[in-house]
Structure 1
């Protein structure tokens, strides 16, 4: 499954994130591609934006190139059981100060 949304640069991400925090928003749909680019899935997305974080995920994000275009693809790390929740590690501590990310996965 591809994680789709609007591809934005780091400065735009920082501006949007700050505005959302200031407005009291608590749901974020940003994905860091670790090369100063982010995907904002808030307004343009698919169901992949609802995959939750886990410190022990069963999926991972891989960046694939398709005709020169980078795509963030969610891949299984192991067999996933029927009705098992899909999760991946958001790695937000690479993007933010770790104090700003509060893990609630229970792992």
Structure 2
């Protein structure tokens, strides 16, 4: 399932009000697996019905072999950093890279 065309404002996780842009931003910030993405954004940690879409957004944002380091072979729309002039929900200050999960 490709979800790239979804606008950044589209809410993916309704339990925690996490939009696609927040997930894309977290992937660009270093989240490379579903656990890190869940810890960073809380997406997928509620009822779990968004898990497939969250995983697809993660896969689309990671560099593919032979793409020269370009995520998903292309650019995702929008920055996902700021929505409506405010910080994206769920972004917090939790780092993705080198996250230790206990």
TM-score interval for Structure 1 and Structure 2 normalised by the shorter chain: under 0.3
TM-score by length of 1: 0.26
Specify the structure having the higher radius of gyration (Cα). 1
TM-score by length of 2: 0.27
Q: Which protein is richer in helix relative to its size?
A: 2
Q: Which protein is richer in strand relative to its size?
A: 1
More RCO (CA 8 Å, sep 6+): 2
